[in-house]
Amino acid sequence: MIPVQGVAGKKVAVLGLGRSGLAAARALQAGGAEVLLWDDGEAARAKAEAEGFTLTDLIRRGGVESCAMLVTSPGIPHLYPAPHPVIARALELGIPVDNDIGLFFRSYATEDWDDFGQAPKVVCITGSNGKSTTTALIHHILEVSGRPCQMGGNIGRGVLDLDPARDNEVVVLELSSYQTELARALTPDVAVFTNLSPDHIDRHNGMGGYFAAKRRLFAEGGPDRAVVGVDEAEGRYLAGQLAEGPGDDRVIRISSGQRLEGFAWTVFARKGFLSEWRHGKQAASVDLRGVAALPGAHNHQNACAAWAVCRTLGLAPKQIEAAFQSFAGLPHRSQVVGERAGVRFVNDSKATNVDSAAQALRAYPAIRWIAGGQGKEGGIAALAPDMGSVVKAYLIGASAAEFAGQLGDVPFEICGDMATAVARAAEEAQAGEVVLLSPAAASFDQYANFEKRGEDFTARVKALLGQG
């Protein structure tokens, strides 16, 4: 745990008692604060009480008036589409509103660092897609290279549940727009922007607000080094805003699909090969085509980001390349579950929207595609340009009929449930094909979350392969 600094003897309210909220409450108590806790959900309140916390209804008038600070969980709206009543009241009174990320950055450095040979560093990854894979890949590379490291934020442990810093340690954090938007302190040593595509639009009142939330990590965080994906206009704009010019190597531009020339430091992937260039000279080249856990152009961009970060941290190309090969990937993100008679089974249940599904469809040459669930506005019509590799679609969930009407000439079968879809796809698949679960839809019509959906797929495949 990282005790929060600067709160001793102060009364601090905590709104939202999920993973980050409870961790914040513990860390605030450890820092000497008097903590007032509340959650609108009965189950969350019961969990907090089971830990010994006393609850205070912050919604009632007088709930936050005496507090020096309000700490809120990232999922609770603080501005758009409308602020939570407790947050609105705090803002009316001028009470500072923060989140666990802000508390982490104000508390991570301590006097103990004076005795370290090398100061710890914090690497933060944000963007629309690829954050989790990039974060996990960086952590994996550091771990197998023998560098002390921890991983947290939007993946793994909550930031205030991390252990106190060690000599020469690197903390790798995945940060969502919800987390970067509100944090009052943001001071990463290295910051990564992967890409941008429409998401959380209501929460940020449009794409401009969404991008602005991501941009705070750089504009207000002031990292020593920024790794920026430049395949979208927003990334190019951000890189231009941060750099003094093309010769500024504090900004490392990365890309998947285009050669980057004329800049001081770039890392890009083309046709399956990663290249690092510094001041007009190639510093390294790696063949990514055989890295099973990083298939497709989107994962090659993740590899470029991880490569750039690890190079800034002093790792050698051979160390990074070797770690790529041992990376197992993340569950539910292009996860290879098994193989039989030349047919691979891939769990990409995390693809809950068309942008994520498009990346998976582009990654394989011949696909038996399991799709469907609780479809989002527009269905899968936008995936038409990416369906050329689909041999046949096997549709499940509430959106099955809608998706069937948007497949064009692609053969399909309405299977309804996962058991039928897996069985039919496996029965018809030929050597060299991939049975891919990439739903392009939410899971809530049939599952509690995308993880449960992916676990169901994995269990049925393993049973089919005799591994259950």
197 is in an annotated binding site: no
Known binding residue 128? Answer is yes
Helix boundaries (H) for 220-364: 233-242, 296-312, 317-326, 354-363
DSSP annotation of 3 reads P
C-alpha–C-alpha distance, residues 22 and 12, integer Å = 13
Known binder of ligand: residue 56?
no
As a whole number of angstroms, the distance between CA 135 and CA 123 comes to 9
CA-nearest of 410, 404, 398, 331 to 368 is: 410
Nearest to 267 by CA among 216, 302, 218, 316: 302
Q: What is the DSSP string of 301-319?
A: HHHHHHHHHHHHTT--HHH
Please count the other Cβ atoms lying within 10 Å of the Cβ belonging to residue 337.
Answer: 21
Question: At 278, which helix (H) or strand (E)?
Answer: strand 273-278
Instruction: Please tell me whether 10 is known to bind a ligand.
Output: no
Chain position carrying tokens 């996990």: 136
Question: Is 73 annotated as belonging to a binding site?
Answer: no
Query: Whole-angstrom Cα distance, residue 392 to residue 372?
Result: 14
C-alpha pair distances (Å), 440 with each of 360, 380, 396: 10, 7, 11
129 in a labelled binding site: yes
Is 131 annotated for ligand binding?
Answer: yes
**Rounded Cα gap, residues 306 and 283, in angstroms:** 16
- Known binding-site positions for ATP: 127-133
- Known binding-site positions: 127-133
